[in-house]
Amino acid sequence: MRYRLETERVDLFDTNILIVMNVRLNVRVAFDDLRDSFIRTCDMHEVLRSKVIIEPSGEAYYVDNDEPHNSITETGSSLEELIYVNERRRFRIEEGEFIRAFVSPDGLIFMMHHLGGDGKSLLYFIETFMKCLEGDEAEYVPFRNLPFEDIPDESGLSFGYKFLTRYWNRKWAKLKRTYTYRDMDEEYSGFWTGRKTDVSVRRYDKEELDTLLKRSREIGVSLTSYLITGFIEGSDKKLALGIAADGRTDGNRSMGNQVTGIAIKVRYDNRQSFEDNARRVDRLMKDKLSDPKHRYFSLEFMRHLEPTLKDALNLVRAGFVDGSFVTMVAGFLGYGKKIRDMSFTNLTRADIGLQYGDYKIEEIIFVPPVVSYAKDVIGIITTGNIMNVTRHVYGK
């Protein structure tokens, strides 16, 4: 295999790029059985048998790897403790390490680098894992990212933005540097010194979830819009919100980073009812999600930037790179001090089976990473009749 990093390139040098899922089963399973299923599952997914190389030119590729470094460990640590340790422990993607699994008192915990895939990808990994645990013959799953050529033609950039990116690329050509994994090690070390994140989880049982769904239906909005309105209620300023969206153009169930997203700006109007505010959020969100120009704008914009300039954006955010030009570009694109107030990812109802022979997935907790362009990240997932809403922020 040899796949160029394209739409996912902005994640290469991000210092907080760990996607986490905590899976709780109906029964306790022997560690040896879990380990065997994990090994088989990694063998089934092409991306987990690859590694990422950075060439002297600055281009980066997924390539074949004969010795993956994915791991599963039995531990007495909690979900929060494992996040604390692992988000500052850099994934060795240059050696083929994309996923770490832990058998914890909190359940099965899967931690994946975003270059291994997005939230849906991790669900599909879990689906294969459960099939292997049951003893089913899981099928080999080829890698699938979201190459620029797959972005809908209607999403093209305006002349003004194309002119701006060309100007930036010309400026960057005089300053260009190809960053390495040694730079990444220094970036991680500096960024995580004295810094931590906090995770809080709100669990909604069947009765509470049914009530939320009923209320959102009654006022004609999606559950996502209803929940977002609850988060911004009472704010006295206009907030910049990011909303992740599935970028799969063909509905594939492969592992690979295929996510896109939109941004909206909204102020909660205290002169109006909660319901009217929710309708406004819903309208703003659906208008952008239904328009390819907005749905794929961030990917289209990044498409026109030189790859190593994308790396520099994250390095600026981590405090590892400075300079007036790079700092200006990072600030303009939301990688500087002014970043999105909140970012939401709702995986909705998990689109995988829950029953696998004697094994049943009872609930899942989804913890998205606090990526460079956001400071307050909310992850939502519904498993059967249970919805978990997780808030992931940097601690004080």
Mean pLDDT of 9-26: 96
Judged by DSSP in three states, 346 sits in strand
Residue that the structure tokens 């709100």 belong to:
202
Give percent of the chain above pLDDT 70: 100
Pull the structure tokens for residue 280: 């406004």
Retrieve residue 345's tokens.
Answer: 């990812």
185 within a domain of the structure (yes/no) = no
Ordered DSSP codes for 169-191 = HHHHHTT-----HHHHHHHHHHH
Question: Residue 236 has what pLDDT?
Answer: 83
Q: Indicate the number of domains in the chain.
A: 1
Report how far residue 222's alpha carbon sits from residue 337's, in angstroms, rounded to the nearest whole number: 32
**pLDDT tens column, 284-334:** 999 999 999 999 999 999 999 999 999 999 999 888 887 899 999 998 888
Whether the per-residue pLDDT at 337 is higher than 80: the answer is: no
Query: How far apart (Å, rounded) are the C-alpha atoms in residues 223 and 363?
Result: 19
Q: What angle do CA 265, 225, 350 make, to 5 degrees?
A: 125
Burial code (b: 16+ CB inside 10 Å, e: under 16) for 287-310 equals ebbeebebbbbbbbebbebbbbbb
Q: What's 43's domain CATH number?
A: 3.30.559.10
Q: Is residue 141 part of a domain?
A: yes
Over residues 192-220, the pLDDT tens digits come to 999 999 999 999 999 999 999 999 999 99
Helices (H), the chain: 31-44, 79-87, 119-134, 159-173, 181-192, 206-218, 223-232, 274-289, 292-295, 297-303, 307-317, 324-332
Q: Rounded CA gap, 368 and 49, in Å?
A: 23
- For residue 374, pLDDT over 90 is answered with no
- Flag whether 12 is in a domain: yes
Residue 103, in any domain of the structure: yes
Task: Say if 59 falls within a structural domain.
Answer: yes
Has residue 104 been placed in a domain? yes
85-118 pLDDT, tens digit per residue, is 999 999 999 999 999 999 999 999 999 999 999 9
Q: Specify burial of residue 103 (Cβ count, 10 A radius: 0-12, 13-18, 19+).
A: buried
Residue 270 lies in a domain: no
Does position 338 have pLDDT exceeding 80, yes or no?
Answer: no
Evaluate whether 347 touches 120 at the Cβ level (below 8 Å).
Answer: yes
Mean pLDDT of 270-281: 96
Domain that holds residue 100: 2-147
Residue 85 in any domain: the answer is: yes
pLDDT over 80 (residue 336): no
Question: pTM, whole model, 2 decimals?
Answer: 0.95
DSSP string, 251-264: -----S--EEEEEE
**Predicted pLDDT of residue 185:** 96
How far from each other are the two terminal CA atoms of the chain, in whole angstroms?
43
Question: Average pLDDT of the chain?
Answer: 94
Per-residue pLDDT for 181 more than 90?
yes
